Amino acid sequence: MDKQKSVQELDEVVVRFSGDSGDGMQLTGTLFADASALFGNDVSTFPDYPSEIRAPQGTIGGVSGFQVHFGSRKVNTPGDFCDVLIAMNPAALKANAKWVKRGGMIIVDADQFNEKGYQRAGYKTFDAVSELNLQDYKVIFAPITNLTKESLKDSGLDNKSIIRSKNMFALGMVYYIFDRPLNFTEKFFEKKFSKKPEVVEANKKVLRDGFNYAANIHAIASTYKVKQATTLPKGKYRNINGNTATAWGLIAAAEKASLPLFCGSYPITPATEILIELAKRKDLGVKTLQAEDEIAGICTAIGAAYAGNFAVTTTSGPGLSLKSEALGLAVMTELPLVIVDVQRGGPSTGLPTKTEQSDLMQALWGRNGEAPMVVIAASTPSNCFDYAFMAGKIAMEHMTPVLLLTDGYIANGSEPWRIPSMKDYPDIKPPIVAEGTEGYMPYARDEKRLARGWAFPGKKGIAHRVGGLEKDFLKGTVSHDPTNHQRMVDIRAEKVQRVQEFIPEQQVIGDPEGDLLVIGWGGTFGHLFDAVQEMRANGKKVSLCHFNYINPMPKNVADIFGRFKKLVVCELNMGQFANHLRMNYQQFNYLQYNKVQGLPFTVVELVEKFNQILEGK
């Protein structure tokens, strides 16, 4: 080994892989994240990809990125800036140079920095380092394409397949720099290409050659060691992303309710993976119906709910718009239904692959008539499981549609998750009406929850009709009586409000009083948490109040808000939750920090903002 090489020990590192959208950067990043997690680090990832299937090769529009943050302590975000950037072409470097920490390492595929590459990426010169002001960075020009060709020249693979493997060469280099074991990735090749042994061998070889190349060149003066995480609670872990966790949480709710899970859905980015994951789970009896459109997705789910399945539908922003009319039907028929909305940039088709929190008002109000709905938001990739489970529990036990909000950032992002045991989750007991119930009234309610009974078709003695027209208070028959309508509007609102009695009190992270309370909801948790921790480490009296239950909100909210001098609501929209709070708790003054760029917050910008607020700017 090279004796001159120094090994630096770090607590945490951020690596960003970037390349053309055909370069396999998402896979490369995922493999690196998985290897780090399996090695025992805590990990947080951020896939950042374009919405075009294939933008013109080598252009800025086609750059796909995947950021991995891993550490020997708990990591809460994918990191604002990266220590190492891998850029497979000039466009990737141009698009991502601003995300590298000053003085950080940049590895580029030198073979792509030719005239054509520079021109496609819109450079003014043929000198990326000067043009992008990277003189203070460690930029390594490695001939990755040619070395990959050399490495695989005897592999028997065709030229296209060989060139496609260059991402594995780059990955091998990164494995060397961070002293990652290769075996997890090699196992992945063996599984993924089990029917093509020559592809397994080729990938292994190119990965090792990349590793060895990095070890041999003197350009890489130091490597880094990030120890296994020791601060994580003991237990068995796995990696999970938000969409998978959501799917599994829904299945868990079905299991606890002893009912089949039915998902009627229509593919839409970034929610599609939930449907894909559920479709795999026929082994657990899950029925998925890929409907002809979003409206059919939710309507099949409503039909399935009527017929006695735990029914869900999944979508993203524009799809939720299409489902609006049917949401009202679910409210009127008082059937259990979970609607998952994985938020993305809007309005309209907006930024399909970018994250945002701008569907909140639609979730709360996007229906005709007085149509209140329970709204819940997950806040990390792994807790999508818990909140999907809770959405199911509330929907079934309270006989109401529940809208679960996640977002592109936590849906695609992944983190290690301490595997829970189902025995630690509560039972779900829907008010199922027994066959032959005497004097059954379809809209009679239990006193505590105001939930009506769930009477499955096929059962004797409880035949009844439901529908979208206003219901008689007890019989459920059509009623146009004015006072009955008022009474039904009131009781539907009260039913949703009663959910407050069944959700936990709101927690505050940090002291229960102070100068500034940072308020957030949903997928911004990790960034807000890190920013608040940094403020507190610097002696500032700042705490975090992060919401998962949006409607109704926990009981103790006003009590919490009243203990702080200033309140700032931070969200990736123009102030939707702030306005929700203004409506519900009018006695407080709310400052706002909003960002709508299709990107998560950075910890840096949050800390800067909080300091300004404390200084009264």
Closest to another protein by CB, 40 vs 350, is 40
Q: Residue 333 CB, nearest distance to another protein (Å)?
A: 8
Closest to another protein by CB, 121 vs 254, is 254
Stretch touching another protein by CB under 8 A, among 3-11, 372-380, 457-465, 551-559: 457-465
Stretch touching another protein by CB under 8 A, among 50-58, 108-116, 236-244, 567-575: 236-244
Cβ 251 vs Cβ 278: under 8 Å? yes
Q: Residue 61 CB, nearest distance to another protein (Å)?
A: 33
Nearest C-alpha neighbor of 392 from the set 260, 241, 556: 260
From 19, 71, 308, 345, residue interacting with another protein (rule: CB under 8 A): 308
Cα–Cα separations (whole angstroms), residue 541 to 226, 348, 536? 32, 40, 6
What is the rounded distance in angstroms from the CA atom of residue 314 to the CA atom of residue 419?
A: 24
SS (HEC) of 162-180:
HHHCHHHHHHHHHHHHCCC
Closest to another protein by CB, 232 vs 361, is 232
**Number of other CB atoms surrounding residue 495 within 10 Å:** 21
Q: Residue 234 CB, nearest distance to another protein (Å)?
A: 6
- The answer to whether 456 contacts another protein (rule: CB under 8 A) is yes
Size of the site for another protein (CB under 8 A): 72
From 60, 295, 503, 509, residue interacting with another protein (rule: CB under 8 A): 295
From 73, 101, 138, 238, residue interacting with another protein (rule: CB under 8 A): 238
Which 326-365 residues touch another protein, going by CB under 8 A?
326, 329, 333
Task: Specify whether the backbone of 351 is left (phi greater than 0), alpha (psi in -120 to 50) or beta.
Answer: beta
How many residues are present in the chain? Answer: 617
The H or E element containing residue 17 is: strand 12-20
Q: Identify the sign of the CA torsion 582, 585, 590, 594.
A: negative
- What binding mask, one character per residue, do residues 598-617 give for another protein by CB under 8 A, x or -? --------------------
Helix crossing, 197-216 with 144-151: angle to 10°? Answer: 130
Q: Collapse the DSSP code of 560 into the 3-class scheme (helix H, G, I; strand E, B; otherwise coil) and give the result.
A: helix
From 106, 152, 311, 394, residue interacting with another protein (rule: CB under 8 A): 311
* Residues whose CB falls within 8 Å of the CB of residue 403, separated by 6 or more in sequence, listed in order: 327, 338, 339, 341, 363, 373, 374, 375, 376, 391
From 156, 347, 457, 512, residue interacting with another protein (rule: CB under 8 A): 457
What is the rounded distance in angstroms from the CA atom of residue 189 to the CA atom of residue 146?
A: 22
Question: What does residue 415 show for φ and ψ, rounded to 5 degrees?
Answer: -155, 155
Alpha helices in 42-158 (DSSP H): 90-96, 115-120, 128-131, 144-151
From 98, 195, 236, 617, residue interacting with another protein (rule: CB under 8 A): 236
- What binding mask, one character per residue, do residues 14-43 give for another protein by CB under 8 A, x or -? --------------------x--xx-x---
Q: Residue 297 CB, nearest distance to another protein (Å)?
A: 8
Q: Residue 185 CB, nearest distance to another protein (Å)?
A: 11
Token code pair at residue 552: 């109704």
From 369, 467, 504, 562, residue interacting with another protein (rule: CB under 8 A): 467
Q: Residue 275 CB, nearest distance to another protein (Å)?
A: 15
- The answer to whether 73 contacts another protein (rule: CB under 8 A) is no
Which 151-190 residues touch another protein, going by CB under 8 A?
184
- The answer to whether 309 contacts another protein (rule: CB under 8 A) is yes
Task: Specify whether the backbone of 309 is left (phi greater than 0), alpha (psi in -120 to 50) or beta.
Answer: beta
Cβ 85 vs Cβ 105: under 8 Å? yes
Stretch touching another protein by CB under 8 A, among 111-119, 126-134, 235-243, 393-401: 235-243
Closest to another protein by CB, 331 vs 450, is 331
Label residues 103-138 b or e (16+ Cβ within 10 Å = b).
Answer: ebbbbbbebbbeeebbebbebeeeebbebbebeebb
Closest to another protein by CB, 289 vs 402, is 289
- The answer to whether 284 contacts another protein (rule: CB under 8 A) is yes
Which 391-420 residues touch another protein, going by CB under 8 A?
418-420
Stretch touching another protein by CB under 8 A, among 49-57, 198-206, 232-240, 586-594: 232-240
- The answer to whether 469 contacts another protein (rule: CB under 8 A) is yes
Closest to another protein by CB, 239 vs 343, is 239
Closest to another protein by CB, 295 vs 614, is 295
Q: Could you tell me whether strands 100-109 and 138-142 are parallel, antiparallel, or unpaired per DSSP bridges?
A: parallel
- The answer to whether 390 contacts another protein (rule: CB under 8 A) is no
Stretch touching another protein by CB under 8 A, among 12-20, 74-82, 301-309, 403-411: 301-309
- The answer to whether 302 contacts another protein (rule: CB under 8 A) is yes
The H or E element containing residue 30 is: helix 25-39
- The answer to whether 106 contacts another protein (rule: CB under 8 A) is no
What is the rounded distance in angstroms from the CA atom of residue 167 to the CA atom of residue 24?
A: 7
- The answer to whether 282 contacts another protein (rule: CB under 8 A) is yes
